[in-house]
């Protein structure tokens, strides 16, 4: 019967060990808390300012709501301080070097969120027990949803960078009583630092003071992942730009032109609505993209009106004579073309010259020329009519071409301006 004896002996030894360990931990716990007054902060007796080391770890970025100007992150604070009342001699307590104590039994710093998005928040609801080391070091972790107010600057949307602050302070204590130092926890690199829409580019900490109180800012800088907006909004708008000019290539007497122009106009309005829904309603610098869209909506409205005008002249009765001034304009451009094509290629047919004005420089030259010559002809009263009377349809085609290049120029100008401003501010 050797085995049972050994077994009972082992059981006896183990239980002795556990009872004694349990006893010493319990004794330590009771001894520490016996004379402890949790309402008095550590360091009051020695008349010193309590140093808090606060480390913030952002575990997830939930959202940056540009419309409500709110940043929501999940994060936890890792707070360290020393409480000289909670020290003990390890050897007197079976070598216990630390003990976990519920935060409701000890003094804990009340960390206030100073710039909340909704209501004031004191961290500590979701917190660990406090690890108390034998030398009085206290280690406390508390995590929560942090929603802060954040000034959204949408000027460069969608190439924008947003800077949001998490501003905290030990609630009520002056700097001479509780002095916190703040930093981001760098070793927690395992957490993703962004989400599908935003990417964390920089973190920073800064302190500021207000009548004896010390505040700490944790600054997060997020960059928008613009690829989605680029492909779903900007590329379609650029395509729409081209579409809006195609209207001048539809035959002038075709009434469908007007519905085409109106459709393009409405498409711009749709995109403007989408963008306005995604940006703050009261932003002082307006988004360059929405200004661009407003310019495009105006341009599209002008194109629609110009189209109506051209359709109107193209269906004029052939009995109505074409005014001399228009005939003069047309003959000027066609003469120039004829002269030039004769020099370049004498065999070339010059009947549809207006249609052949292809390059921008050509157009600019012709307009400049026409302006000059109209002026001189008006002052002298000399009407240099072409050899044959143009029909109204030819007049319409002539205006189509001029307007096509005019609006092409305006569109390119706006687009280049948009990208210049965005790049200059990026």
Q: Give the binding site for ligand NAG (CB under 6 A).
A: 31, 34-35, 47, 49, 89, 91-92, 115, 165, 167, 175-176, 179, 181, 206, 208, 217
Q: Which is nearer to ligand NAG, 220 or 250 (CB)?
A: 220
Q: Which is nearer to ligand NAG, 134 or 191 (CB)?
A: 134
| Close Cβ partners of 324 (under 8 Å, ≥ 6 residues apart) | 383, 385
For the CB of residue 157, give the shortest distance to ligand NAG in the complex, in Å.
21
CA–CA gap between residue 189 and residue 98 (Å, rounded): 27
For the CB of residue 56, give the shortest distance to ligand NAG in the complex, in Å.
14
Residue 57, strand partner residues: 76
For the CB of residue 174, give the shortest distance to ligand NAG in the complex, in Å.
8
3-state helix, strand, coil split of the chain in percent (to 5) is 45, 25, 30
**How many CA atoms within 13 Å lie on the side-chain side of 243?**
17
For the CB of residue 121, give the shortest distance to ligand NAG in the complex, in Å.
14
CA–CA gap between residue 343 and residue 324 (Å, rounded): 28
Q: Which is nearer to ligand NAG, 51 or 278 (CB)?
A: 51
Q: Which is nearer to ligand NAG, 89 or 319 (CB)?
A: 89
Q: Which is nearer to ligand NAG, 218 or 271 (CB)?
A: 218
Residue 15: how many other CB atoms lie within 10 Å: 10
CA–CA gap between residue 411 and residue 180 (Å, rounded): 56
For the CB of residue 27, give the shortest distance to ligand NAG in the complex, in Å.
10
DSSP state for residue 151 in the 8-state scheme: -
CA–CA gap between residue 181 and residue 54 (Å, rounded): 6
Q: Which is nearer to ligand NAG, 88 or 159 (CB)?
A: 88
Q: Which is nearer to ligand NAG, 5 or 284 (CB)?
A: 284
Q: Which is nearer to ligand NAG, 147 or 165 (CB)?
A: 165
How far from chain centre, in Å, is Cα 403?
37
For the CB of residue 213, give the shortest distance to ligand NAG in the complex, in Å.
11
CA–CA gap between residue 268 and residue 262 (Å, rounded): 10
Q: How would DSSP label each residue in 211-240?
A: TTEEEEEEEEEEEE-THHHIIIIIHHHHHH
CA–CA gap between residue 405 and residue 401 (Å, rounded): 6
Q: Which is nearer to ligand NAG, 167 or 290 (CB)?
A: 167
For the CB of residue 115, give the shortest distance to ligand NAG in the complex, in Å.
4
Coil vs helix vs strand at 53: strand
Dihedral of the alpha carbons of 332, 334, 339, 345, in degrees to the nearest 10: 170
- Is the peptide bond prior to 158 cis by the omega test (within 30 degrees of 0)? yes
Q: Which is nearer to ligand NAG, 35 or 387 (CB)?
A: 35
Q: Map tokens 């071409």 to a residue.
A: 401
For the CB of residue 218, give the shortest distance to ligand NAG in the complex, in Å.
9
For the CB of residue 78, give the shortest distance to ligand NAG in the complex, in Å.
17
Helix (H) or strand (E) holding 363: helix 360-380
H-helix segments, 118-233: 227-229
For the CB of residue 217, give the shortest distance to ligand NAG in the complex, in Å.
4
How far from chain centre, in Å, is Cα 144?
24
């Amino acid at each position: 019967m050797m085995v049972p004896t050994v077994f009972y002996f082992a059981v006896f030894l183990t239980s002795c060990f556990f009872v004694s360990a349990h006893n010493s931990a319990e004794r330590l716990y009771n001894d520490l808390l016996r004379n402890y007054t949790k309402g008095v902060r550590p360091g009051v007796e020695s008349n010193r300012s309590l140093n808090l080391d606060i480390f913030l770890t952002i575990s997830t970025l939930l959202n940056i709501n540009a419309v409500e100007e709110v940043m929501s992150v999940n994060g936890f604070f890792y707070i360290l301080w020393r409480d000289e009342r909670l020290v003990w001699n390890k050897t007197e307590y079976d070598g216990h070097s630390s003990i976990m104590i519920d935060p409701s039994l000890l003094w804990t710093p009340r960390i206030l969120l100073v710039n909340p998005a909704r209501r004031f928040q004191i961290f500590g609801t979701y917190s660990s027990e406090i690890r108390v080391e034998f030398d009085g070091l206290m280690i406390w972790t508390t995590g929560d949803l942090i929603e802060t107010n954040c000034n959204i600057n949408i000027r460069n949307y969608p190439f924008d960078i947003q800077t949001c602050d998490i501003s905290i302070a030990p609630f009520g204590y002056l700097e001479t009583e509780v002095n916190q130092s703040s930093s981001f926890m760098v070793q927690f690199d395992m957490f993703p630092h962004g989400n599908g829409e935003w990417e964390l580019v920089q973190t920073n900490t800064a302190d500021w003071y207000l009548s004896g109180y010390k505040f700490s800012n944790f600054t997060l800088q997020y960059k928008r992942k613009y690829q989605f907006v680029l492909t779903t909004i900007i590329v379609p708008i650029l395509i729409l730009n081209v579409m809006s000019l195609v209207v001048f290539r539809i035959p002038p007497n075709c009434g469908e032109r007007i519905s085409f122009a109106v459709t393009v106009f409405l498409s711009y309005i749709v995109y403007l609505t989408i963008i306005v829904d995604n940006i703050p309603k009261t932003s002082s610098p307006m988004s360059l993209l929405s200004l661009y869209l407003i310019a495009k909506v105006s341009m599209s409205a002008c194109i629609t009106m110009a189209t109506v005008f051209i359709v109107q002249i193209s269906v004029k009765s052939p009995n109505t004579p074409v005014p001399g001034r228009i005939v003069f304009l047309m003959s000027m451009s066609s003469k120039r073309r004829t002269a030039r094509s004769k020099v370049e290629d004498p065999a070339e047919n010059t009947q549809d010259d207006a249609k052949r004005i292809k390059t921008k420089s050509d157009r600019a030259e012709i307009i400049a020329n026409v302006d000059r010559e109209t002026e001189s002809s008006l002052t002298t009263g000399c009407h240099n009519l072409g050899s044959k009377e143009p029909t109204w349809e030819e007049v319409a085609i002539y205006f189509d071409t001029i307007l096509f290049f005019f609006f092409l120029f305006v569109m390119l100008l706006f687009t280049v301006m948009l990208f210049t401003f965005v790049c200059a501010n990026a």
